[in-house]
Amino acid sequence: MTVERSLRLLAGAFVMVSLALGYWVSPYWFLFTAFVGLNLFQSGLTNWCPAMAIFRRLGLPDAGAASKKTGGDSRAA
């Protein structure tokens, strides 16, 4: 599991959970969905995200390092 893949999984889970909470609990949860979207937007512009820093500290490799370690395409598994 790489930093980039973990980030996509975390963001997707946050969006789905906040949408469900916004629908069934309170519309204010949609603000959390907007926060996740804004964070993804700024991450695309700056190439920095707090979650990526946390994942790196946990020892997850970056996508480039993972493919070098396996000797090729990281998708082949």
Domains of the chain, residue spans: 3-68
Which among 54, 46, 15 is positioned nearest to 32, based on CA atoms? 15
Say how many residues make up the chain. 77
Confidence at residue 4, expressed as pLDDT on a 0 to 100 scale:
92
Averaged over 42-57, what is the pLDDT?
93
pLDDT tens profile 5-37: 999 999 999 999 999 999 999 999 999 999 999
Element (H, E) at 70: helix 63-70
The whole-number pLDDT of residue 63 equals 87
Write down the residue that tokens 């519309």 correspond to. Answer: 27
